Structure 1
Amino acid sequence: MAGFLSRSLRRVLFGVLALLLIIVALRVWDVRSGPPLGPWHEFVPPELSLEAIDRADWAGWMAAEDAAFAATRREVTDRLDAMDRAAALRWSPDSPVNPTRFVRDWNRSFVLEPSGAPVGVAVFLHGLTDAPYSLRHLAEAYRARGFLAIAIRLPGHGMVPGGLTEAVWEEWMAATRLAVRAARARVATGPLHLVGYSNGGALALKHALDAIEDQRLPQADRLVLVSPMVGVTAFARFAGLAGLPAFLPRFAKAAWLDILPEFNPFKFNSFPVNAARQTWRLTSAIEVQLDRLAQAQRLSALPPVLTFQSVVDATVSTPAVLSRLYDRLPENGSELVLFDLNRSLRFGPLFSAGADSAIDRILPAATRRYAVTVVGNDGVGVAGVARRIAAGSAVEAVTPLGADWPRAVYSLSHVALPFPASDGLYGGEPDPADAMGVELGAIAVRGERGVLVMDANHFARITWNPFFAYLLDRVRGGMITAPP
């Protein structure tokens, strides 16, 4: 019997080894046929260590950020060859999408001051490969209501995608703690809100969970999560295997899942293996912590959570938002706002069975411990309505939104929710006064193949929210109005 088990074990080990060799061989072939790395992929800007971030104050963080941007300018911008300088590359000095040419470089951490004494403070946490730019509209809304708004650039972001080849989620959490410390140092009393988008939503949730277990951490009074990364695809778990050949310098490109042109001033298009790996590590840590606190019956200490999520999301798992988070929440005033498909006759017959039934699959039957609002059609045409069922109720209240589904839009996307149609970069009707060098959201792709620097599918994904005004009203509803 022992000999049989030994032979079986050897066969399993040989099978696993053979599979790894096949993966490595396929990755070697893939990276050899792909585009070359640029200096923006190879340079890793100097960032504060995890321990240094936990010791730093806001002034120290900003000084270190200035030094990292200066190093990026020396090592990337100043060393670009003639071909790269002529391209529409975000680091080229004369490029229309170079963020240093704008009134404000939204890649950097920022603070928005209210006109009077702050009534509260809000901390903003952006998404993966993203920048503080993505939350500027929500930050401005908070500032207008008398809140001090603090948005931190997370380590590895904002400068070059090479920074994400070494960043780890523990450093992002340390930056989150720093921003909250800085917020409470500036505004010691009044409400504290954490506003997170995508990966930033995971960080906001993790901080609130950490504050339950560590009373030294300031606890938020409210969480606002936009397309939160509570769960990711199974591929992220094994993404590290795709980077195995990168340990040999000749195959350094294997450290990247995507190597793409960089024409977006406030988001990286290239995506390293390490970034996918860190998303899985972070979401796994959150799931373990949610389980632990639920078993200990301590989730009652979690603040109310307001979440905005598209029913169909190709980046994060919409079902995980319900099964991992909302199904565990106490009855504490939390609400989930789901953006449904455009179910007008224009698109209805074209939906796949999986997409058409998505909302029915993921939503548990009422009554629920949290409120649910579904933003969709009025049942007749393209007019938008919000259908809300309060916590503990099964009665649906329908509110017209005064906004229609745009003609060519069949759903929202992961990236669309925090941007109005007027956003200068991502909006469908960009405001000329908000020019960002390129109007990515307004591009209607028609033409010949092989002309654009990106595949046409890249521009087909909607990047703005036709119901942003409703989202903003719901966020404002939880703010304290500043005195005149």
Structure 2
Amino acid sequence: MPVLPGAEPYRHEGGETGVLLCHGFTGSPQSLRPWAEHHAAHGLTVSLPLLPGHGTRWEDMQVTGWQDWYAEVDRELRLLADRCSRVFVGGLSMGGALALRLAARHGERVAGAVVVNPANRVHGLSAYALPVARHLVRTTRGIASDIAKEGAAELGYDRVPLHAAHSLRVFLRRLDGELPQVTQPLLLLRSARDHVVPAADSARVLSRISSVDVTEIVLEQSYHVATLDHDADRIFEESLAFIGRLAPSVGKEGTAAVG
């Protein structure tokens, strides 16, 4: 299936500091494209992959699972690590969870993580029914475009395949057990009003990780897809400042090539 216009992966060859950005469940790179382009404009090498089964039609996602999504970002991280002296990971929602697993699994290869409204569990009574329900019902209604900003829209599926939702639940439960392995500096940004991922998920992440250098920022004007919402610029600027603090060459003239 052809990729939907706007859902294409994005890559930029910049300087010695790399950033891997991971999009969310049923979403696409479109939701993080402005973030990726912002960092590219400041000289960073950026990778924003399209996760398998995403960016086309929900039927394609039905036959994928968390192992496929994680394998894609794991591969991209290894490519960035070969190319760059420092690599940071970031993501939105499930993409934040993928970024946290990369940090947990790759240790010193990851210099720091930036997560926006990171998912920690699949919520609601329906979550407990998923192992059975996925064999009876193929999809449920979509979760895309939880955005406060008028006129802004997320390019995502209008249906959620239950097989994929079940796989997400399995992944998040596995990740929760791995969070203590996250030791890198962490910047967590969460929306005060999020209709997809509750604040309890961010609180759980912060309580489970082993990182000492931790910053939490509450985004007062945005909903779940904050990277396309009123606080988007703040996310980009705080993220760049976080990376710049840990990789001082970022933004210095002559040390990060702007392409």
Normalising by the smaller structure, the TM-score range is 0.7 to 0.9
Kindly state the Cα deviation for residue 172 of structure 1 after the two structures are TM-superposed: 1.0
2:121 matched to 1:231?
yes
Partner residue in 2 for 1:108: 8
Counterpart selection for 1:334 from 207, 211, 214: 214
Residue number in structure 1 paired with 2:253: 483
Classify 1:121/1:233 alpha carbon distance in 2 versus 1 (closer, same or farther; 3 Å): same
Q: What's the offset of the Cα at 1:129?
A: 0.9
Aligned residue in 1 for 2:135: 244
Q: Structure 1: which amino acid aligns with 2:213?
A: G
Give the 3-state SS of the residue equivalent to 1:241 in structure 2: helix
Unaligned runs of 5+ in 2: 144-152, 245-249, 255-259
* 1:209 partner amino acid: A
C-alpha change, 1:469 and 1:109, in structure 2 (3 Å) is closer
Distance 1:259 1:330 in 2: 34
CA radius of gyration, larger in: 1
Measured in 1, the distance between the counterparts of 2:88 and 2:236 equals 15
Contact preservation (8 Å) 1:155, 1:167: yes
Tell me the residue number matched to 1:412: 222
The sequence identity of aligned pairs, in percent, is 21
Q: Following superposition of structure 1 onto structure 2, how do residues 80-479 of structure 1 map, counting pairs within 5 Å?
A: 99=5, 106-114=6-14, 118-187=15-84, 189=85, 191-212=86-107, 219-234=109-124, 235-245=126-136, 254-258=137-141, 266-290=155-179, 293=180, 299=181, 302-322=183-203, 324-330=204-210, 332-340=212-220, 412-415=222-225, 417-419=226-228, 464-465=229-230, 467-478=231-242, 479=244
- Which secondary structure does the structure 2 equivalent of 1:166 belong to? coil
Q: For residues 270 and 331 of structure 1, do their structure 2 counterparts lie closer, same or farther at Cα, with a shift above 3 Å needed?
A: closer
| Superposed displacement of residue 193, structure 1 | 0.7
* Pairwise CA distance, 1:232: 2.6
**TM-score normalized with structure 2 length:** 0.83
- Number of residue pairs matched by the alignment: 238
CA distance in structure 2 between the partners assigned to 1:222 and 1:272 by the alignment: 32
Q: Give 3-state SS (helix, strand or coil) of 2:32's partner.
A: helix
Letter in 2 for 1:335: T
Deviation readout 1:366-414 (Å, 9 max, x if unpaired) = xxxxxxxxxxxxxxxxxxxxxxxxxxxxxxxxxxxxxxxxxxxxx5311
1:477 match: secondary structure:
helix
Root-mean-square deviation (Å): 2.3
TM-score (norm 1): 0.46
Give, in angstroms, the shift of residue 330 of structure 1.
4.2
Q: Supply the distance in 2 between the matched residues of 1:158 and 1:337 (Cα, whole angstroms).
A: 29
Q: Which amino acid aligns with 1:321?
A: S
Greater RCO (Cα-Cα under 8 Å, separation 6 or more): 2
**Aligned-partner Cα distance in 2 for 1:141–1:273:** 34
CA distance in 1, matches of 2:104, 2:48: 20
Q: Distance in 2 between matches of 1:329 and 1:206?
A: 11
Provide the rounded CA distance (Å) in 2 between the counterparts of 1:130 and 1:307: 20
Structure 1 residue 470 displacement after superposition: 2.4
Helix, strand or coil for the counterpart of 2:197?
coil
SS in 2 for 1:418: helix
